[in-house]
Structure 1
Amino acid sequence: MYKPDQIDNHKSIINLFDKAASKSKTSGLQSSLSQRQTNALLDNAPICIKILDTDFNLKYMSPAGIKSLGINDINNFYGQAYPFDFYPQLFCDDMTESLNRAVTTNKIVKQEASIVDLKGNELRFHSTIIPVESESGQNQTLLVISIEVPVTNEEGIELSTLKNLQENVGEHFTIEHSNKNINSSFMAKVENIVLVNMNDNNFDVNALAEHLFMSRSTLQRKLKAEIGESAAVFIRQKRLSKAHELIQSKVHKTLTETAYSVGFKHIGNFSTLYKKYQITIKNQ
């Protein structure tokens, strides 16, 4: 079993943060951290920092993370597999998928999801998973930086209001209205991200999932539940819809220009799909 002193070595931790920082400026870490700076970051930062080996066993957790989860003795968790077994199964599945993706692609992976502490209280975290390489270029450590996300967005306010209404109006109406608002808010966010990024021909399902801070599988499940379509079909339909709008407005001189402007790589593929799209909208 891992002991805290096995990872609580200032030099090794400084090297770890140096490598992570050089990999991503968005990690919020500066390179060349001093021993004092590292101590301050690990002991006082209001974020949960976890260090895992490539088998996803916990090697270190920062004091803020230990406190937020209500863990009395972290020694009981060192050497144990992460995610912890008291987390919701959906989170465990998504986090395991994200950890595997970080290891296999050697790229930073982000996700946002809800968990529970040891007392069953719900918490929501935005996590950044950074694979850190050894000198030989092999992944040897995973750095997981999690920041608690407060419920201050419109969905949270909407749900709070609806819970109050439930006492006076009735459960059936409130739940139905709540689902409607959450769905429209989520789909509006998805559609906006696709519209903003559709001109990038590398924008795909994985990119959309990253923008939404969720795993690919979670995105697929949510879209299937909301509109009965896969993410790939949704993105393609939005591209075709935008292309149709541009063609009708005669924005471009050629179909090739239009196809490229909405993210299609091959004009032949675009022509085939657009013909089918025209038939579909004529029959509506």
Structure 2
Amino acid sequence: MQIHTTIAAMQKASAATRRSGQTLGFVPTMGAIHQGHLSLVRAARAQCDVVAASIFVNPLQFAPTEDLDRYPRPFEQDVALLRSEGVEHLFAPTPQEMYPAGATTFVEVAGLSERLDGASRPGHFRGVATVVSKLFHIVQPTAAFFGQKDAAQLAVLRALVRDQNFPIRIIGCPIVREPDGLAMSSRNRFLSPSERAAALTLSRALHDVAVLPNATPDRLRTFLIEAIRQAPSLRLDYAEIVDPETLLPAQDLNRPTLVAIAAWSGATRLIDNAILAPVTNVAAEEPELCHHV
């Protein structure tokens, strides 16, 4: 695996891949690699000739009160994991390389960026859209792979690619979960045993809400809110029933619907979600909650 720390080096490697006629799959990460990230690498490997990943803890997507300094950075461990999956190129720039002194340009997807996580983390998706735009220009991949766990981010980036005419396919991949159902996250390592036990309320609530009888968007949302309230150590950020593309509140359940939830367990903010199939097509069995890849 070649490790590139400068934009010029990554651009050179990407250009060589394109000249050879090979397709390039790209997995952007902030490091602290876990099996969820590696599932994206495997998806990229299955669909593309060459795989590139990036590790960059993007300061633009953290508010001053958030955990930028605390965010885990086990770089050597991350390199070993990516190398074990056969990643050919790793782009690992410094903040100074990505944002040189005097840089004043930002990218924002209006509307979508103020919904779900964007509503509770103002400016977050401006930071995401800006860094991903830069990464796409640098790497110029054929396809980029992102996890469904970050459902709002996925909607924002699909709109970004559409609006800016990036010749890149955005591939959303299923949520990867721990055996007990907790969605994998780099921040899970911050949870104490009691906080982790409480965090399981999120995935359990999503499972239960998916089989709720006589469901309506309002009833689903009320159910989620009550489930979080009954867990004393959890603090709800949001529970929403929305269209997965626009992130606007769903008016009914007659089309695929995103059920999204965010809550604090102790000092750690966690997110989770599920896509519900249209009620008119729901079979008797339990719905898919993306427990596998």
Greater helix share, structure number: 1
Point out which structure has higher relative CO (alpha carbons under 8 A, 6+ apart): 2
- Same fold (TM > 0.5): no
Highest Rg: 1 or 2? Answer: 1
Greater strand share, structure number: 2
TM-score category, normalised to shorter length: under 0.3
